[in-house]
Structure 1
Amino acid sequence: MPAELRAKIMNQFKPIHLLGHILLFGIGLVLLYPLIFMVLAGFFNKTEFMSTVLGVFPIPKEPTLDNFKMLIFGTTDSATAVYLRNSVIRAVYNTFGALLTSFLAGYVFARLKFKGKDQIFLIMLATQMIPTTLAIIPTYLEYARFPFAGGNHVFTGGSGILDTWWVYFIGGPAINIMGTFLVKQSLEKVPVEIDESAKIDGAGTFRLIFQILFPLQLPIMAYIAITTALAAWNDFITPFFYTHSDYLQTLPSAITRISSIGVSPGAVIDYPMIITLSLGITIPALIIFFFLQKYIVQGLANTGIKG
């Protein structure tokens, strides 16, 4: 073994380094403990879970895979498969919608010249300061009074688009303000001469946007896709406030549905199933962030934003 390699290995066993590794391991264990607990709790059935005094790392006497089968295949609760499907559809639809609207809006504000452009952009940014909770009631009334839908004649009566897929389709691909801002900032760093050269070579507006400028913004697009997908996957407000039919619910809604069983006198809340559903919401988000976090950093760095 080369002397340098031997010295490097021995250096790792110095007391200060061993202490550092132990400290980092302890911190990592503390951070991962909730996830470990959720995985272990998923192997319980609700009867054993309620009758067991849980330790730091709960181990069931009769482990079962029913909760995980329910989450993945919907074997014990067919509605769960519908919730999972709806969550995936929402995440994919919102992501593609946000990518398209953010890039086009960013291109408009970065490249086109028209009166009031800066004022409109500032108004858009100002809407980001409005808390989401303040928009719940106005949004509900907007959906309820949506003209010519749900029995509405113009602006009165009926239920509008409440409790329909239109709640997701119309509310999903709205302009992503943060994404628009990032695309605008990034495109302004791209020389205008590229546009002029492309037009001289015969490229039209469509080709200029999607074949020349869009590939230059891939890190920004990756950031928008990741953050939008995570937001749609974890969204609880939209299905909870604007829908009530079971076939329209998502995974976050499933937790509320199962928890409500405990309202009945004498009913036993299925905590292992609730925890497993929560695990189904958490793990995809962790996987996406863990493997794609470099695109988040790269996307923000390309806009010149420091944080």
Structure 2
Amino acid sequence: MATQTLTRPAPHAAAGPALRKPRRKITAGKAAVTAVAAVLAVLWLVPFAWATVTAFKSEPDAAAPEVRWFPPSGFTADAFVKVFQDGNIPLWTWNSFYTSAAITVITLAISALVAYALSRIDFRGKKVLMTVIIASIIIPPPVLMIPLFYQMVALHMIDTSWAVILPQVIHPAMVFVLKKFFDQIPRELEEAAVMDGASRMRIFMQIILPLSRPILAAVAIFVFISAWNNFLWPFISTNDGSILTLPVGLQTIKSAYGIQYAQNMASALLAALPLILVFLFFQRQIIKGVATTGLAGT
């Protein structure tokens, strides 16, 4: 009796091609978006690279009419040395850091509490308050400079750090962003906490805030950057050299020999360097926060 040998097909032989991950097709739309993003990146990086190169030039090379990326006399750090000699960079940097940090912390506390109240609590005048907050986003900040200045004079806070901090802790846009995010958090979580006897503040601290870490990080970074870059209000409210912030202090370094291009570029780089470091360390939180905010607004 002839024995027939049955050949069992390999279990994955036929399924092999099907298990392969399909290659992502690069559509014309994605290619166009990538090309536009690359062009915009180059347009932003070229001026920054030129400012960096100019900061390391000598003043004659920086003032020369010819566009040269590599100066004839070579690169030098004399502009940075001059800036540090003429100004108190460490003190101004510290002033900018602690005022920006204080503004960020106070703004987060106020904005988160107001946004939570608008999102979860029903009270009389809620719609009117929300309308005022949205309308206040449209008001240009320079319009409020004179009233704020007189207010600081009445409170005897001119030439103090509080004069720099307090007027910058109100950010209606951040209240609106946080409110839209809180609206997306399921209310069932709060209802379960209420059944367990949790208070409103405990729910806010132990449920809402932990779930809102991405957007809180993004808001904190945006507020910190805004406070660090603010020049006009600290310039108006302070005259004491010991409490000047870095953007204001760098403007006090002037030369009697006209515009010093290398020195100006060195000052600009010193002012931007902390923000570049903040972005490099927290870029994941910034991108995640922006993406989360966009989803919350839909």
Give your verdict on TM over 0.5. yes
- How far does the alpha carbon of each residue in 1:46-86 deviate from its partner, in whole angstroms, 9 at most, with x for none? 46544x45423142615333444677xx4x24512222111
Structure 1 SS opposite 2:205: helix
Distance 1:226 1:125, change over 3 A: same
Q: CA RMSD in A?
A: 2.9
1:272 matched to which residue of 2?
262
Equivalent residues of 2:99, 2:161 under 8 A apart: no
Give the deviation of 1:275 after TM superposition: 0.8
> What letter corresponds to residue 247 of structure 1 in structure 2?
S
SS where residue 159 of structure 2 aligns? coil
Per-residue displacement from partner, 1:192-250 (whole Å, max 9, x unpaired)? 22112112224333321111111111222122112111111110111111111212222
Distance 2:201 2:242 in 1: 39
Deviation at 1:122, TM superposition (A): 1.1
Q: How many residues are paired up? A: 264
CA distance in 1: counterparts of 2:142 and 2:165, whole angstroms: 20
> How many Å apart are 1:41 and its aligned residue?
1.6
Counterpart of 1:101?
110
- Counterpart for residue 38 of structure 1: 51
User: Paired residue for 1:173?
Assistant: 169
Q: Distance in 1 between matches of 2:48 and 2:150?
A: 39
State how far apart, in whole Å, the 2-side matches of 1:22 and 1:191 are: 39
Q: Give the counterpart of 1:143 among 133, 152, 156.
A: 152
The structure-2 alpha-carbon separation of the partners of 1:60 and 1:233, relative to structure 1 and needing over 3 Å to count, comes to: farther
1:134 paired with 2:124, answer no
* 8 Å Cα contact 1:144-1:161 kept in structure 2: yes
Equivalent residue letter for 1:295: K
Letter in 1 for 2:129: I
1:224-243 aligned within 5 A: 224-243=219-238
**In structure 1, how many angstroms separate the alpha carbons of the residues matched to 2:114 and 2:35?**
50
Q: Deviations over 1:141-181 (max 9, x none)?
A: 111222xxxxxxxxxxxxx211211212322333x211211
Identity %: 24
What are the equivalent positions in structure 2 for 1:109-120 lying under 5 Å apart? Answer: 109-120=118-129
Where structure 1 has 5 or more consecutive residues not aligned to the other structure, the ranges are 1-7, 9-20, 147-159
Partner of residue 12, structure 1: none
Cα contact 1:222–1:295 (8 A) shared by 2? no
2:169 partner SS: coil
Q: Which runs of 4+ in 1 moved over 6 A?
A: 21-27
Change (3 A) 1:108 1:192: same
8 Å CA contact retained: 2:86, 2:253: no
In the alignment, which residue of structure 1 is the partner of 2:89? 80
Matching residue's letter, 1:301: G
Comparing both chains, which one has the higher relative contact order based on Cα–Cα distances under 8 Å and sequence gaps of 6 or more?
2
Unaligned runs of 5+ in 2: 1-22, 24-33
- Taking structure 1 as the reference length, the TM-score comes to 0.75
One-letter amino acid of the structure 2 residue matched with residue 198 of structure 1: A
Q: Which amino acid aligns with 1:212?
A: I
